[in-house]
Amino acid sequence: MDLNEAIRRVPNFPKPGILFYDITSIFTNPKAYEYVVEKMMALYEKTPVDGVIAIESRGFLLGSCFALTRKIPLVLARKKGKLPGKTLEESYALEYGTATLQIHEADLTTGKKWLIIDDLIATGGTIQAVAKMIERQKGVVAGVFSIIGLPFLNYAVKIGKYNPLTLIDFTSEHV
């Protein structure tokens, strides 16, 4: 499977001059989706993981597959204001602004090993925010998985210690 062919490119989104790598095209292609899930499962086959934290929203589609297959809890990291009840939250810088993620405090069990799953790693801010919440609850980041990596944005500086693994990397986001 050639993931490069399966990923849609959207020029000038979210702003002029930017080439957006849209992984939603993977989900409309059952062979590509299956390939991604199989590769993700194989990468962490021998990694002890107590639960998955999937980042809104495309990370949910991968995290749910991992959690169900491994029969472990799936915890959702959502944008601020989307979760009822008591939450943990962490704000972070994005490539194009700032945002805040929240996780239900009761879902983030203390002392567990968590795999963080998202669709794309750009600057690493989103992953770092989730990792901070895990560590605040005295948990351990067991790893980080994403379909796409943009290493030219230097995400390794923020999250390299969590061993981020990607299936495909791109060297630019310019049209």
Which listed residue (8, 34, 38, 95) is catalytic? Answer: 95
| Residue 173 falls in the annotated catalytic set | no
Closest C-alpha to 75, from 96, 44, 106: 106
Burial bucket for residue 129 (CB in 10 Å: 0-12, 13-18, 19+): buried
> Does residue 151 contact residue 123 with C-beta atoms inside 8 Å?
no
| Residue 70 falls in the annotated catalytic set | no
Sorted by sequence, the CB contacts under 8 Å of residue 114 that are 6+ apart come out as 49, 50, 51, 52, 53, 75, 108, 134, 139, 140, 141, 142
Angstrom distance (rounded) from CA 75 to CA 52: 6
- DSSP-derived secondary structure letter, 162: G
Which listed residue (58, 70, 78, 90) is catalytic? Answer: 58
Instruction: Please give the single-letter amino acid code of residue 61.
Output: L
Q: Which residues are annotated as catalytic?
A: 58, 95
